[in-house]
Amino acid sequence: MDFLTILQVSDSSIRLAVPLLLACLAGLFSERAGIFDIGLEGKMLFAAFFSAAIAYVTGSAWLGLLAGIAGSMLLSALHGVASITFRGNQLISGVAINFLAAGLTVLMAQAWFGQGGRTPQLSGDARFTEITLPFAEALRDVPVIGPIYYELISGHTALVYVAMLCVPLTWWVLYRTRFGLRLRAVGENPAAVDTAGISVIGLRFAAVAIAGILCGIAGAYLATALQANFVKDMSAGRGFIALAALIFAKWKPWPALYATLLFGFLGAVAIRYQNIQIGNFTIPVQFMEALPYILTVVILAGFVGKAIPPRAGGEPYVKER
């Protein structure tokens, strides 16, 4: 494997990791506040549809992004009402949201565009275009650093840089702000937060809303940056891989970046190489595809460093009577 191949695989790892990263951070905010969210998949899909549809109609990728975020937040609100207001089962609510998104997106796409449940191809400003960072062309011929800068760091869409910035931002919000401290507390011991006179319900709704925004960006990235239209079920299980990455990262922002990059890398390798030969032994491509899930189960089982979820996760909060 030569240097350029390594760079290309790394580059496509980043492209594949970005939606995982955004969804993973979405899950992180939600679950750190004690709300399980297996509806990441559905929210991403919903956002992908709305961003592609609005970007096509208005011709602006940024308006598409806003529409995607709005769509995703709509489902977040539903999740909030079901699991916070009515204290329903958060997992079941997530399952329902996934199906709702899977069904409604095709229904709406068919009703609006009549192209068999997809949106028309986006072109020009309706899509996020790749940004060439300053000096990328000039530095291209510098050995080692030049190609790294040109191939790997430069030449991504704006949303990739947004996603990368979200990692330190999430870290800062969670660990350096009052809101973050309260958010983490509400996921561990909501009664203590309530006793301090802070609204558990308000905090949890805020967390779910942030999850909606991040899933919205993830979905818009899928439909208007990675690909150029919405197609049925285009989130293709990414919400669940993000969930796996979240466990892998033990609900922490920086590890979330590494975990999603790893899973993105596994995806990139599976796409590029199919079956991998090591000596006489062949690693089938199906094993590479299943690896994120297998790794997550191993981590969950606690054989390699135990993953302990937020303590109040999944429990609706009932005020003492």
Partner 1 sequence: MDKMPAWADAVLVPLISLILAGVLSALVILAIGESPVEAVNYMVKGAFGSTNGWGYTLYYATNFMFTGLAVAVAFHARMFNIGGEGQAMLGGLGVALVCLYIPWPHWSLALIGSITGAAIFGALWAAIPAYLQARRGSHIVITTIMFNFIAFSVLNYVLVNVLKPAGAMDPATAKFPEATHLPTLHDMLAPLGIAFSKSSPANVTLFVALAACVGVYYLIWRTKLGYEIRAYGFSESGAVYAGISPFKIIMVVMLLSGALAGGMAVNNVMGEAERLVMNSVEGAGFIGIAVALMGRSHPFGVFLAAILFGFLYQGGAEMAFWTKIPRELVVVIQALVILFTGALDNMVRMPLEKMFLAMRKKGDA
**Closest separation in Å from C-beta 158 to partner 1:** 31
| Residue 243 found at the interface with partner 1 (CB under 8 A) | yes
H or E stretch at 300: helix 285-301
Q: 144 vs 304, which CB is nearer to partner 1?
A: 304
| Residue 227 found at the interface with partner 1 (CB under 8 A) | no
Distance CA(164)–CA(169), nearest Å, equals 9
Phi/psi for 108 (5° steps) reads -70, -40
| Residue 77 found at the interface with partner 1 (CB under 8 A) | no
| Residue 245 found at the interface with partner 1 (CB under 8 A) | no
Distance CA(39)–CA(239), nearest Å, equals 8
Q: 168 vs 284, which CB is nearer to partner 1?
A: 284
> Applying CB under 8 A, which of residues 7, 63, 104, 173 lies at the interface with partner 1?
104
Q: 96 vs 159, which CB is nearer to partner 1?
A: 96
Q: 83 vs 157, which CB is nearer to partner 1?
A: 83
> Applying CB under 8 A, which of residues 92, 138, 165, 169 lies at the interface with partner 1?
92
**Among the listed residues 37, 44, 38, 55, the one whose alpha carbon sits nearest the alpha carbon of residue 18:** 44
**Among the listed residues 216, 224, 227, 226, the one whose alpha carbon sits nearest the alpha carbon of residue 126:** 224
| Residue 208 found at the interface with partner 1 (CB under 8 A) | no
Distance CA(42)–CA(219), nearest Å, equals 9
Distance CA(123)–CA(170), nearest Å, equals 32
| Residue 111 found at the interface with partner 1 (CB under 8 A) | yes
> Applying CB under 8 A, which of residues 4, 5, 107, 140 lies at the interface with partner 1?
107
Question: What is the contact surface with partner 1 in residues (CB under 8 A)?
Answer: 36, 38, 78, 81-83, 86-93, 95-100, 102-104, 106-108, 110-111, 117, 237, 240, 243-244, 247, 284, 286-287, 289-290, 293-294, 296-297, 300-302, 309
